[in-house]
Amino acid sequence: MSNRLKSTAALAAVLISIVAGSASAETARIFWKDLRPATQPAAESVGLPMIAAKMPDRGETLSLNLQDKTVQLAGYALPVDREGDLVYQFLLVPWTGACSHMPTPPPNQIVLVTPAHPYRMSAAYQPVSVTGALKPGMEKSQLFILDGASVIQSGYAVRKAAVVDVDVVPDTITQPANSPWRFLNKKKN
């Protein structure tokens, strides 16, 4: 093999590794704490279930440093627009039971997700990971639950999202023992 061919092959290998590295660097894995200002206490600090009511800004202060960045966030899917088991839009929330028979998390802890393709969901509060461009901005969605409709305000949206099932949400908040939704807590052996 000539030196010129070796140099070309080495350069190609370097370029491939740079492109592959930049593709993974473009998607930032974030956690729920990244969606609220550092000065805002975590949900567990203010106590479930009256989270938003105890915040001076009602949780409407958004983190703008992630605007339009491609992020990956795990949470629990709560369908907003569905037909059978196909979901066209859902709310991503940080814990099970949120928005349904429990007070709603603050807007900066709710993401309105529109999957790139209809997502097949087997149950409400299914743990999923969402990847896409994060758009801060208040948006209202009508959620139909067992005892009627509720309007939920989300602080972020991800459109054309890639959605995959996950076994565990890394930064989930475990429901207190008196929560009617504690049976939804995912435990792995």
The closest of 83, 86, 139 to 111, measured between CA atoms, is: 139
* Domain identity same for 89 and 171: yes
- pTM of the predicted model as reported, rounded to 2 decimal places: 0.74
Single-letter amino acid, residue 175: Q
* Domain identity same for 102 and 161: yes
For 29-81, what is each residue's pLDDT tens digit?
Answer: 999 889 987 776 665 554 544 555 555 556 678 888 889 999 999 999 999 99
* Domain identity same for 21 and 37: no
Task: Read off φ and ψ for residue 46, nearest 5 degrees.
Answer: -90, -15
* Domain identity same for 146 and 160: yes
* Domain identity same for 12 and 36: no
Domain that holds residue 47: 31-184
* Domain identity same for 61 and 20: no
Q: Which residues contact 161 (CB under 8 A, 6 or more apart)?
A: 113, 114, 115, 116, 130, 131, 132
- Number of structural domains in the chain: 2
